[in-house]
Chain A
Amino acid sequence: MTSEQFHLTGKAFDFAIVGGGIIGSAIAYGLVKKGARVVILDGEDGDLRSSTGSFGLIWVQGKSDVGGPMAEWRRRAARLWNTFAQTLTDDTGAALGWQNKGGVHLCLGDEELDTRQALLARQAAQDPDFQYEFLSRTDIARAVGLTPGLRVTGASYCPQDGCVDPLAVLRALRCWLTRKAVFRACVSVDDISPDGSGYCLSTMEGPVRAGRVVIAAGLDSGRLAEPLGIAVPVRPVRGQMLITERMQATLRLPVSGLQQRPDGAILIGESHEQCGLDDTQSMAVMTRQATRATALFPQLAKARVVGGWAALRVVPRDGQPIYSESPGHSGVFTITCHGGLSMATLHAGAIADWISGDIPHPEPAFCSTRFRQTLRTNTSVVEAHS
């Protein structure tokens, strides 16, 4: 679509979504299903893309350490995955590699095992629906299909854990959105400004008009959101992954940092490095990942690694999502979080409902007003008011 066509579509779009990653796409999916006219403006081919750094685990166990509303939000999101995966497959015909047979977290040494037991006991106390059990070395071999390394003392298994192919999910959403909405790749948004009762986004392909705007641009969200009064204190954390050639069935279940994809390739991840905006691979990290994988399962030493990649993930300052509407510009939203894949169910659901104005904010604790940051807007310095 040329800029004239953007103009000539007559009515502006109901929603413009900046960012076509897993967060933007899931929100768009939800909004389109509610009957809205949506345009998604995705960035350049070389832009930072956190979605490619997702390992694909929809994990329930051990995810309550942050506590408070985050734990409950995660639980809600994970519980909806079965339905979400089914619906998305029905809508798109795409195979998502969604598996919900449970997941295993290995512990090395006795101390790790004790810590893990305490952690999961606390989680069970908070969440009566949470199921788990601890596995001995023999149990691990039986459940996973490989003998664990000598340093492995035990593992926790949760039948509610699942995993999915993150690129397959993104691909399915994107395909569907190019049919049901307007999906424009390689369109950078320079600026968002009020325009009548809605907003005008200036892009290199001309102006785009929409009633409401959702900024879901990951690490780039602050650039557009902060001038409009939404604080987005996030930092990049690099995650690296390795992938092997296709192999015969080896890992029956996803194990902490290891999973076998439906096509047989084994994915090894996921590292966490603080290195600013550097999204290049570090060989030192790759070799450490390999060391860890072979310590967990020595039989994997013969697997041939054919590739690897790195991506910068988004981590908000306090680890909790940022779901905020601009205080001075109603109808402009910023949605960013860590673990956008797990949250996709709620982004397409409750968040889309809130953005549409159908329900109040589903979790006010996630507003960015909690940061009480001084922001500079285009015209003056304003306090992000409480």
Chain B
Amino acid sequence: MIERLTTQLVIVGAGPAGLAAANEASRHGLATLLVDDQPQPGGRLHKRRAGLTCAAGKSGAEIRSGISVFGISDRGSLLAEGPKGCPVLIESDITLLAPGAVERPFLIPGGTLKNVMSASIARRRGLIDALPEQGPVILAGHGPYLLATAARLAALGRPATAVLDTGRPLRFLGGRMLIGPHREKARRALYWMLTLHRHGTRYHHGCTNLHIEGRNGVAHRLQWVDAAGRPQDIAAAAVLLHDGLDPDITLPRAFEVPVHWNGQVFLPETDPNGGTPTDSLWLAGSVQGALGPDASIARGHLAALDICARSGRLSYDEAMNRADPWRRMLTREEDLGRRLASLAIHEQTIHKDVVVCPCQGVTAGMLHAAARKGSPGPNMAQAATGCATGACQGRRCASAMCRVLSAATHQDCEEIGLPRPRQPVRPVALGVLAAFGQTGS
């Protein structure tokens, strides 16, 4: 009944990092299995999906879609739920986790009203299909993905009425960007801005104090304060929110990979090749910090080369030689990442009415109250409010909970930390879990 898969290297996550790593590892003769929970590989990629998938397949890697890893057995095997609810057990010598990033929720009041959704979810639903046929569409938040989504909307013939960006304008990066090492991306960003301009989408920077007003539970207006300090408002039929991408550390934490707060986000502890303190475990891709697909591809190759070197498929010298171009690419992307980070203006306070945990309906105010009423730590606050105990198990809200507790107790997020990791890391049918109990894995 249980499908048993045995391999030398298992890669969890078939986004750009996972695909690149599968390609590289397979090429050097390592038996590689790449699993992903989505119906098809590629992660958030669109145009490059097919190319990368093909390359990975051609190199000899086995790619299995529709497999959701929900837990780790006591011996270290991966337990998963396959398509049609079949139990899958994966045994391998080496594990590479490339789970990617999750969208950081833009925590403003009214964020859980109807017709308000994250840009990521809207794109997954086909973007246009997720929006009402008529009425002003407003985008709000910050990050390259916000601009990309706005441009996509315009290209599909349904341009947004306005984008409310909390950060600084792109021109702050300087005109040299158009001719320097990042010129391709800079030119694309400029092209997107021009597209938006052509389609009448107004782009506002330096927006603060955003909140969405609803009528009968449906969003109908956005209010904010503009860069000059003037209150503004705009009618909205739908609002798409995005505030950046954060590493999805749920599965790494289940493997006891330590994480640290870097001021904005929790990052897992890895060496430059994605190696972790846990034996035979590597990480690659946006899970190390979201820097876009090129960085993820580079990281995938670097991790795979390191794995091949450690397992004797390649000499260390050869691995280093092959790693050189990828390391240069990663350095370039890290540089761009730092420049883009300088555009962000992070508003630290989260308004009390904001729903921090949509699964359980826990607001920032409730977390504040719990902290004052004897539960200031993440585990106790979780027990007291139910935050991070719902379907997403904290994937979306644990970092936000930490930020709220940090504000309530005047302690740094690093000190507060996150609630203890729990299994299952993904929802799994009780029957599938039971299947493993019958045979005893």
Query: Contacts A174-B384, A284-B73; is A301 near B434 (CB within 8 Å)?
Result: yes
**Do A178 and B373 contact each other (CB < 8 Å), given the known contacts A302-B430, A303-B430, A307-B424?**
yes
Q: Which 5 A-B pairs have the closest CB atoms?
A: A45-B377, A301-B431, A287-B437, A291-B437, A290-B433
Bound form: Cα–Cα A289–B423 in Å: 14
User: Across the interface, which residues of A come within 8 angstroms of B79, CB to CB?
Assistant: 283
- Give the interface size class of chain A: 35 or more
Given A281-B423, A304-B427, A306-B390: A186 in contact with B376 (beta carbons within 8 A): yes
The answer to whether B374 and A177 touch across the interface, beta carbons within 8 angstroms, is yes
Cα–Cα distance between A291 and B377 once the two chains are bound (Å)? 34
A305 interface contact, C-beta 8 A: yes
- Asked if A171 is an interface residue, CB under 8 A from chain B, the answer is yes
**In the complex the two chains form, is B434's CB within 8 Å of A303's CB?**
no
A283 to B79, CA, bound (A): 9
A345 to B377, CA, bound (A): 28
* Contact between B428 and A185, CB atoms less than 8 A apart: no
**Roughly how many angstroms separate A151 CA and B349 CA in the complex, as a whole number?**
56
- List chain B residues, Cβ under 8 A from A170: 383
Chain B residues with CB below 8 A from A286, complex form: 71, 423-424, 433, 437
Instruction: Judge whether B40 is part of the interface by a CB distance below 8 angstroms.
Output: no
Tell me which of B71, B372, B437 contacts A178 (CB under 8 A).
B372
Q: With A293-B434, A301-B430 given, is the CB distance from A45 to B379 under 8 Å?
A: yes
Digitize B418-440: 1 where CB-to-A-CB distance is under 8 Å, 0 elsewhere: 00101110011111011011101
CB of B373 within 8 A of CB of A244, answer: no
Given known A45-B380, A245-B391, A307-B389, contact A174–B374 (CB-CB < 8 A): yes
* Bound form: Cα–Cα A283–B255 in Å: 13
CA distance in complex: A149, B327 (Å): 58
A245-B427, A290-B433, A306-B424 known; A283 and B74 CB under 8 Å? yes
| 15 contacts across the A-B interface (CB closer than 8 A) | A42-B374, A45-B380, A49-B383, A178-B373, A183-B374, A185-B374, A185-B375, A185-B380, A186-B376, A242-B433, A287-B437, A300-B431, A305-B430, A306-B424, A309-B420
Q: A304 to chain B: which residues have CB within 8 Å?
A: 391, 427-430
Is A243 part of the binding interface, using a Cβ–Cβ cutoff of 8 Å?
yes
A360, CB-defined interface residue at 8 Å: no
Contact B430 A294 (CB under 8 A): yes
Is A44 part of the contact surface with B, judged by Cβ < 8 Å?
yes
- For residue A304, give the distance in angstroms from its CB to the closest CB of chain B: 4
Q: Is A175 an interface residue (CB 8 A)?
A: yes
Decide yes or no whether B16 CB sits under 8 A from chain A. Answer: no
Complex: A46 Cα to B376 Cα, angstroms: 11
Query: Which residue from chain B places its CB closest to the CB of A300 in the assembled complex?
Result: B430
Q: Which chain A residue shows the least CB distance to B394?
A: A307
Q: In the complex, are the beta carbons of B431 and A183 less than 8 A apart?
A: no
- Determine if B95 is an interface residue (Cβ-Cβ < 8 Å): no
Most chain A beta-carbon contacts within 10 A, residue among B374, B377, B431, B436: B374
Nearest B residue to A289, CB-CB: B437
Asked if A52 is an interface residue, CB under 8 A from chain B, the answer is yes
For A300, the chain B residues whose CB sits under 8 A away are 430-431
Residues of A within 8 A of B437 (CB): 284, 286-292
Among B373, B386, B441, the most chain A Cβ lie within 10 Å of the Cβ of: B373
CA distance A303 to B71 in the complex (A): 17
User: Interface digits, A297-331 against B, CB 8 Å rule (1 contact, 0 not)?
Assistant: 00011111111110000000000000000000000
Nearest-neighbor residue (CB-CB) of A266 within chain B: B430
Per-residue contact bits, chain B 45-79, to A (CB 8 Å; 1 contact, 0 not): 00000000000000000000000000111100001
- State how many angstroms separate the Cβ of A351 from the closest Cβ of chain B: 21
The verdict on A198 contacting chain B, using a C-beta distance below 8 Å, is no
Contact between A52 and B376, CB atoms less than 8 A apart: no
Most B-side CB within 10 Å, residue of A20, A167, A283, A286: A283
| Nearest-Cβ distance from residue A238 to partner chain B, whole angstroms | 13
Whether A174 touches B430, Cβ cut-off 8 Å, given contacts A52-B383, A306-B391, is no
How many angstroms from the CA of A171 to the CA of B379 in the assembled complex?
13
Additional 8 contacts, C-beta under 8 A, given A49-B383, A305-B430: A49-B379, A171-B383, A171-B384, A283-B441, A290-B433, A301-B429, A302-B431, A304-B428
CB distance from A313 to the nearest CB of B (A): 16
B26 at the interface (CB under 8 A from A): no
Whether B372 contacts A45 by the Cβ 8 Å rule is no
Known A174-B384, A283-B71; judge A306-B393 contact (CB<8 A). yes
Q: In the assembled complex, how far is the CB of residue B68 from the closest CB belonging to chain A, in whole angstroms?
A: 11
Cβ contact within 8 Å between A174 and B431? no
Report Cα–Cα, A175/B385, bound state, in Å: 12
Question: Smallest Cβ distance from B209 to chain A, in angstroms?
Answer: 31
The verdict on A282 contacting chain B, using a C-beta distance below 8 Å, is yes
CA distance A20 to B376 in the complex (A): 13
